[in-house]
Amino acid sequence: MSAAEAAATPSPPAESLSAAERLEKVEALWAEERVQHQRQLAELNAEIAQLRETINALRDSMELGRIGEQERTQKAVATSEDEVRQLKATANALRDQLEMQRIGEQERVQKAVADSNAEIIQLKASVGALRDELELQRVSETERTQKALQQSTAEIVQLKGSVNALREQLDTQAARMKAHA
């Protein structure tokens, strides 16, 4: 007699069942319960696998964001350095030209040098501000990465706790069934 048949068959009073029939009925109930537990375990494993895939996708996304941020940072630094080089070259060219025109144009030369120095100071301030902004962006990205990692870790811990709680429930039910048998 199968477990389904045993469960579907109306049970006669316990006194009229032989020990073998009672044992068979208990085994059928256990088998049915095992199948249910295996289904639940399979569902939990599928959910865990899906969560792992989600975590990996989030990690990949964060890594791509970090790489993009690094590339933007490097590009901004390279652009700033190029501007500084160009400005230095321009300043040097202006100084050479001013030296050639020194006779009779001393005041004009001094004014041009003062203007160039002010521009360099302003550019240095701009470069400093850009560096500060890039550092703030890097810190912000690091904080977001840490937060996402902490959330993922907390979720994994919670899932492990849920799995352990379900295992304990299954063990408790199994112990009860053994105690009643």
pLDDT tens digits, the chain, 181 residues: what are they? 444 454 445 555 555 778 889 989 999 999 999 999 999 999 999 999 999 999 899 888 888 888 888 888 888 888 888 888 998 898 888 788 767 777 666 777 678 888 999 999 999 999 999 999 999 999 999 999 999 999 999 999 999 999 999 999 989 998 888 888 6
Longest distance between any two alpha carbons in the chain, whole Å: 130
> What is the pLDDT at residue 78?
85
Instruction: Please write down the long-range contacts of 46-54, taking CB distance under 8 Å and 24 or more positions apart.
Output: 48/159, 48/163, 51/155, 51/156, 51/159
3-class state of residue 181 by DSSP = coil
CA torsion angle 142 148 151 155 (round to 10): -140
> What is the pLDDT at residue 1?
45
